[in-house]
Amino acid sequence: MFESLFVLCLVAASGADYASINLPSEHLSAFFSNNEALRDECLEDEDCPYKDYVEETKCWGYEDKCEEERKYLRPECPGDHRGWVKTKADQGRTFDTQADFGYVKQQMKEMMVLCEPMFPDDSSLECSEHLRFCRGRNLMMNFTALAQRDEPLRYKMDVLKMGEIGGYCDLYQERLNENLDHMSPLQSWAPEMRFFTRLNERPIVEGSCDVVIEKPTFIMKIDAIVNMYHHFCDFFNLYASQHLNATEAGAFSTDIHILVWETFNYQSAFEATFEAFTENPIWDLKTFRGRTVCFKNIIFPLLPRMIFGLYYNTPIIYGCQNSGLFNAFSKHVLHRLRIPQVKRTDAKVKITLLSRDTKYRKILNEAELVEALERNEEYSVERVVFNKEISFKKQLEVIKNSDVLIGIHGAGLTHALFLPDWAAVFELYNCEDANCYMDLTRLRGLKYVTWEDDSKLFAEDEGTHPEGGAHAKFTNYSFDVDEFARLVAKAADYVKKHPGFVESLEGVEYSSVGSAEPIEYDESYDFDLRDEL
Ligand SMILES: *[C@@H]1O[C@H](CO)[C@@H](O)[C@H](O)[C@H]1NC(C)=O
Ligand SMILES: *[C@@H]1O[C@H](CO)[C@@H](O)[C@H](O)[C@H]1NC(C)=O
Ligand SMILES: *[C@@H]1O[C@H](CO)[C@@H](O)[C@H](O)[C@H]1NC(C)=O
């Protein structure tokens, strides 16, 4: 209570809304470096609570001048580069543009004006190539005809028709046409922008709209709400898109609107994640059905199924790991959702085994495996079932406080995004889909371990795909206990040697744990996260 009053006083005294910044402390320096006005204000303001951060001058990585030493995070490339690129430096650069803040930089570089304003009240539209990302001002969208459509709308390319989106500005029709080549629902904004029309009058000034939305509005075409891997692809791209506006003081403000481009009520087991992005209710296409709406500030964010987009099915250069963008996304979500860090009471490695509550990929001898781990004094083991009974925030709390995450191939392993920086992921068996979680783990900079000897795992049957045919993902498995223990030890050893883990043990009493005493961090320790690639 006192704390919040204090913050309110600060706001009143200075005019800068410090309280609404609400970013993890490790992000503040880069945030202020991108907002000079705010930074200067803080430097001059005696009461600015961020003094320590504005004096540092970190950058994310996409800024014009962002030297390596100042970067929020520097990825490592311990793996071989030959065969992919000519030099080690090229390897790092490729990783940066494919999967780190260089990806955001590329989008910034590509931004072009498609509809040009002449005067301040005019409309505008700017997009990156292939219309992967767009933003506009004073644009009109006409949802009048939607009232006549009975069928539910999702993944549709014909929500709008000719003339139902437009603005008062000079439209570069040819440039627009040239960028309509990724015509698919979740690959670009081409399905919507192909109908963009130059209006004859300023829609807001002339009162052409039934509703005018003042606050920035992000339109989202969502991949999937039931599957964590796919839905987090949506959230991830929303976050990356906010970085495209990082020079705005309100770039990460939660006082924005989100309009989901479907007529279904938005509902998801993961919906709490939206709290990291907006404090306002989520809109959908029903919200404005039958009306013409003007948006003063509208953003069409990066999409989950873009060609070479992130992170679904993206080829990522071999040998590099630990993307700053993925790290920042993880910290941002955990911070905004206020997921607590539980204080350690011993020096044990916390192991979480994800048990699947589904028809396929059950671990048949799970109890036996857990017992084997429990016999090891150095481990503290928890078996969890992440289903509807456990709120998503509670799930994140378990994960944020785990050192090793074990699970068989499945969307639950997307939780790897929210493990601490020193953690290891043991994908028990990848079910012949080798890259999916190995890459996600690598992008997040965590150790990845998986089953090595197929003769030591046993499938219940050959697996039957619901649409016919044999498929390794559609059966259950049991695992050799000794081999399992050996692989867990490999993951746990990595964790114990990691300086982040060692630091997390500070102040913990070790005496009762004997051999679990942390090992001194060895400078020569090779942080190669891959096993044998
Ligand atoms: C919106 O579309 C409807 C037809 O569906 C049309 O009658 C109306 O004039 C349009 N509104 C504007 C502002 O263009
Ligand atoms: C995004 O950036 C544009 C251009 O700098 C700016 O006009 C707009 O207000 C920004 N939007 C948000 C949501 O920050
Ligand atoms: C796998 O286990 C589930 C749950 O026990 C069961 O319903 C399913 O039939 C099993 N699948 C096979 C292929 O035996």
SS3 string of 420-474? CCCCEEEECCCCCCCCHHHHHHHHCCCEEEECCCHHHEEECCCCECCCCCECCCC
Q: Residue 531's pLDDT is what?
A: 41
pLDDT, residue 239, reads 98
> Under a CB-based contact definition with an 8 Å cutoff, are residues 140 and 294 in contact?
yes
CB atoms within 10 A of CB 227: 17
What DSSP assignment string belongs to 33-49?
HT-HHHHHHHHH-TT-T
Among 139, 144, 148, 160, say which to mutate for ligand 1: greatest number of ligand atoms within 8 Å of CB: 144
pLDDT, residue 7, reads 41
Q: How far apart are CA 43 and CA 52, in angstroms?
A: 10
Residue 48's contacts (CB-CB under 8 Å, 6 or more residues apart) are 10, 14, 16, 18, 41, 42, 54
Which of 460, 461, 475, 477 gets mutated to test ligand 3 (max ligand atoms within 8 A of its CB)? 460
For the CA of 476, the nearest atom of ligand 3: 1
Give yes or no for residue 506 CB within 6 A of ligand 3: no
Nearest C-alpha neighbor of 184 from the set 147, 134, 223, 224: 223
Q: How remote is the CA of residue 312 from the centroid of ligand 3, in Å?
A: 28
Query: Tokens at residue 507, please?
Result: 């102040």
Residue stretches of the chain with pLDDT short of 70: 1-16, 509-533
| CA–CA separation, 441 and 371 (whole Å) | 26
Per-residue pLDDT at 241: 97
Q: Give me ligand 1 centre to Cα 85, in Å.
A: 54
Pocket test for ligand 3, best of 355, 357, 359, 478 (most atoms within 8 A of CB): 359
**Cβ contact 378:492 at 8 Å:** yes
Whether 460 is in the pocket of ligand 3, judged by its Cβ within 6 Å, is yes
Dist CA 100 CA 429 (whole Å): 28
* Domain spans in the chain, listed from the N-terminal domain onward: 1-57, 111-300, 339-516
End-to-end CA distance of the chain: 53
Is the four-CA dihedral 21, 22, 23, 29 of positive or negative sign? Answer: positive
Nearest ligand, CA 460: 3
Task: Compute, in angstroms, the gap from residue 370 CA to the centroid of ligand 2.
Answer: 51
Q: Domain 339-516 is classified in which CATH homologous superfamily?
A: NAD(P)-binding Rossmann-like Domain (3.40.50.720)
